[in-house]
Structure 1
C-alpha cells in the first residue's frame, strides 16, 4: 500500500526500518527498497523480496557525513570532495568497516555508499538507523521503478510500506565511482555524468563492459530488462516492416519520428535531444511499452555523452544480446 509522506508516515517508515522491516523510498534516481544496512536479517529480506543473487552487493544510503565515517574509510582528499557535492546521484566504492554486514557487500572488503538527493529519503534515513541499504525497489533484473505505482505493481505485499514521493527527478540509477583504485573508475554510468566527475576527480576513467564479477551494483551484463524483448537499432529503417507491425519503436527525439509509420506503437525519450529528459523518461516509457501486447521493443541508440551514457548503459543491459 502507498502512503503519503506525511510527518506521521515518515516516522512510521523509520520505525519499520529500525525494527528490521522493508520500506520503499523515493529518491532522485529511482525508488529504493530500504532496509537497515546494519542488520544482516534486514539485508536478507531485501535479497528475498527482490529475488536478487547474493553475489550482487547493495548500496548503503546515508544522510550525513558523520555516518560515512562510522561505516567506511574514505581518504581525506575524497571525503572533502564528497562533502561538497553530496547529496547527489553519485555512489562511491570505498573500504568498509566491520559494522557493515558481509551480506550487504557480498563478502567484499569494500562497500557502495551514497547520500541521496531527496528530502523524504534523507529524513527517513535520519530518523531510522542512519544507514539504509536501498537497491532499486523491483524484482531483480527487471525495469527500475520511477514511481510509487511501479513499486506497488512489481513487489506488492513483499514489503511493509511504500512512501509516495512522485516521479523520480533523474530517472536512472546513480553513477558508481570506484575510489579504491589508484585512478578513480566509473563502474556504472548514471545520474552524475563523467564530464562532471572529470572536474572533481583527477584522471577518472570509464569501466570496461567485459567485467563479469560485480564489485558494485549494476555491473551485470543483463539487467534493467522488460519482459518484452528489447533490441537496439540505429533507426526505424533497421527494422523489417513485417516485424515493425507487431512491435513498438522508442526513438530518441520526437522531432525525428515523422518517418516512423510502420510500428503499432511509437514513443520518444526527448522532445529535441535533451539527455536529462531522456533519462527521466526511460524507465517510465519502458514500463508502459512492456504492458502492451507486442512482440518486441526497438530502441534507437542515444549519443553517448553526458547522461546519454547512462541511458545507453541501461538500454544495453536491457537488450537481447
Structure 2
C-alpha cells in the first residue's frame, strides 16, 4: 500500500521528511518532487533498494540511474570528480544539471549497470534536498513514471502511474522546469552533452568554453549500455500517435490545419499541442472542432513555459482519448534543443 503525504514546498514538514528518510534508509521507495520532474527515490548504495526502482517503473535493466546528493561532500563518496565538475557545480548547483564522472567501488552494479561511471546531480528543490539530507544517502531517482510514458510534473501524474507500486508518494505540487536535467559526460574529453535540458549548451559554454563538444550521443547497437538515461529507449510517449510538423509562419499554420482536417474527416480523435498563435488560427479557421482536442503549451517566444507544459499536454492527450497528435517543431536554440529532443523521441523521429 502506498502512503501519500502532502508537503509544503516553502517549509517542508519535518515529520514527513523524517518518515520518508526512514523508508529510504530501510531500502524502501519514495517519490518526491524536484525542480525538473518528480523522482522515484531509493538508497543509491543498496542493490536491493535500487532494484525496486526498476521493478516499480518496469524500467529496462541496462538503463543507468542518476544519484542525487545534497552536498559536494557526498560526491566524494561515490565518484572521482575533475576540476571542471566543481566549476560547473559552483555555477549551476543546486539545479537541473547532471554530471557523469568516474565512479568508485561504493556504487552498486544496479546503479551504473556495469559502467565505470556514475551520474550525479544536486536538485534545486527544498523537499528533495530535505529528504536527501535527512536520509544522509545518495538517492537514486529516475523520473517517477512507468518507463516510456511522459515524465510526471504533478502529483496527479505520479499517482496515476505508481500508486500501489511504491512505499510513499510526497505531494509537493507542480514542478518548475518540467523537463529532465541536462546530462554532461565529464569522464572523457572533449566533454559531451548526452541529454539537453534546463541548463543549455550556451550556459555550459560560458564555463567550459572550447572543452565542451555539442553532441548528443547515440547508441551504436542495442547491446550497448547507455551512459545516460534518455539515450537508448523510446521515452516520453503518449498512447496516441505523435507527429511533429515542420515549417514556418503562415505555411506552418496551414499545414497543421490541413493535417487536422484530413484525420478528423476520417473520424480519428485528433489532438494538437498548440502555441498561442496556432490555437487562435485553428479556432478561427477550422469549421468543426468536435473531434479535435487542443492543449495550449504557451507562447512561442517563451520556450521555458512551453517546456514546463509539455508533459502535462501529452498526458492530457491520453486523458482525452486522442488517437493522432500533432505538434509543431521548435527552434533548436536554448530550451528549444531540449524540447526537440523530448518531442522527437516521443514521436519516434516522425517529422512531417
Given the two structures, how large is their TM-score scaled by the length of structure 2?
0.87
Where does residue 259 of structure 2 map in the other structure? 239
Give the superposition deviation at 1:83: 3.1
Match of residue 3 from structure 1: 5
* Structure 1 residue aligned with 2:321: 293
Q: Structure 1 pair 239/320, CA: closer, same or farther in 2 (3 Å)?
A: farther
Q: Deviation per CA, 1:71-99: give whole Å up to 9, x if none.
A: 10011242233134210100011000111
Tell me which residue corresponds to 2:149: 142
The within-5 A match list for 1:139-178 is: 139-178=146-185
SS in 1 for 2:163: helix
Matched residue SS, 2:209: coil
1:188 corresponding residue in structure 2 = 195
Equivalent position to 1:223, from 227, 235, 253: 235
1:272, distance to aligned residue in structure 2 (A): 4.3
Q: CA deviation at 1:134?
A: 0.1
Aligned equivalent of 1:318:
346
Contact persistence 2:84–2:208 (CA under 8 A): no
1:51 match: 58
Task: Say whether the 8 Å CA contact 1:16–1:23 is kept in structure 2.
Answer: yes
Q: Secondary structure at the match of 2:184?
A: strand
Q: 1:304 to 1:242 in 2, by over 3 A?
A: same
RMSD over aligned Cα atoms: 1.6
What secondary structure is seen at the aligned counterpart in 2 of 1:317?
helix
Give the superposition deviation at 1:320.
3.7
Deviation for aligned residue 1:209? 5.5
Give the drift of 1:238: 5.6
1:265-284 superposed matches below 5 A: 265-284=293-312
Structure 1 stretch 79-88 or stretch 115-124: which is displaced more?
A: 79-88
Q: Tell me if structure 2 keeps the 8 A contact 1:2–1:152.
A: no
With normalisation by structure 1, the TM-score equals 0.95
Partner of 1:207: 215
Q: Deviations over 1:102-160 (max 9, x none)?
A: 11011100011000010110010011133000000001111100011111111111001
> Is 1:65 matched with 2:78?
no
Which of 130-139 and 72-81 deviates more? Answer: 72-81
Worse-superposed segment, 256-265 or 285-294: 256-265
- Show the 5 A alignment for 1:64-83: 64-83=71-90
| Moved segments of 4+, more than 6 Å | none
Larger Rg: 1 or 2?
A: 2
SS in 1 for 2:143: coil
CA distance in 1, matches of 2:174, 2:322: 26
Unaligned runs of at least 5 residues, structure 1: none
Name the SS for the 1:113 alignment partner: strand
Correspondent of 2:273 among 243, 246, 250: 250
Query: How far is 1:293 from its partner?
Result: 2.1
1:307 aligns with 2:335: yes
Contact 1:2 1:148 in 2 (8 A): no
Report if the CA contact (8 A) 1:30-1:172 is conserved: yes
Which segment drifts farther, 270-279 or 178-187? Answer: 270-279
Q: For the Cα contact (< 8 Å) 1:37–1:132, is it kept in 2?
A: yes
- Mapped partners of 1:227, 1:206: distance in 2: 32
Structure 2 CA distance for aligned equivalents of residues 198 and 256 of structure 1: 33
Tell me if the contact between 1:22 and 1:34 (Cα under 8 Å) persists in the aligned partners: yes
Work out whether residues 26 and 164 of structure 1, in 8 Å CA contact, stay in contact via their aligned partners in 2: yes
